[in-house]
Structure 1
Amino acid sequence: MERVCKECKGKLTGRADQKFCSDYCRNAYNNRINSDTKNLIRNTNNQLRKNYRILESLQPEPTTKTTRDKLLSKGFDFNLFTSIYTTKKGQTYYFVYDYGYLPLNEDYFAVVKKN
């Protein structure tokens, strides 16, 4: 059985486990496979990074207070976070990696950093 490149279907010579004839074909194959199906993941990760940068920019002290309007004006998406932490008192913190926010009363939020 003749071995062929997964991208260009050219004949492979060399190692027995070789899948591509060149780096160009390997990159082209992986870019083609990952481009269309991964748009949702890429967009979600980009928004998580944006949320992280926004929380990081608001964190000059150990705990900072901010408003919903200020977060929204910077492009913060409240639907995307990486984890939820509920304290023994029942307070729920939403974290984007190591930065989190706690909803307070009247559209205020406490911004914290996990140690």
Structure 2
Amino acid sequence: MQRSCLECGEKLVGREDKKFCSDYCRNAHHNKANRGEIAIIRAVNNQLRKNYKILQDLNPENKGKTSKSRLLEKGFSFNHITSIYTTKTGTVYYFVYDQGYLPLENEYYALVKRT
């Protein structure tokens, strides 16, 4: 039985369990197979990176305050965070890696950095 490359169809020579003729075909095959999943992961990671940069830029002193409108104006997404921290008193902080925010009154947010 003649075996052929799963990506390009070229005849395979060598090991019996070989599936691809080259590293290029193996990588191309797996990249195509994972394209949809990778796009979703890339989009989420890009937004997390953007959120982190926004919080970092607005919080150079590692403690500050900003408005919701300013965060939204810079492209911040409140749907993309990496963790939630609840204090013993029940205060809830939202974090993007080590940069965090605490909702205050009148659509303001306290900005913090976890150390």
Equivalent runs, 1:1-115 vs 2, <5 Å: 2-15=2-15, 18-115=18-115
The percentage of aligned residue pairs carrying the same residue is 60
Gaps of 5+ in 2: none
Q: TM-score, normalised by structure 1?
A: 0.86
Deviation track 1:62-95 (CA, whole Å, cap 9, x = no partner) reads 2111110110000001111111100011110011
For structure 1, list consecutive stretches of 5 or more residues without a partner in the other structure: none
Question: For residues 51 and 101 of structure 1, what CA distance do their matches in structure 2 show?
Answer: 11
Name whichever structure is richer in helix by fraction: 2
TM-score of the two chains, using structure 2 as the length reference = 0.86
Moved over 3 A (4+): 1-4, 14-19
CA RMSD of aligned residues (A): 1.8
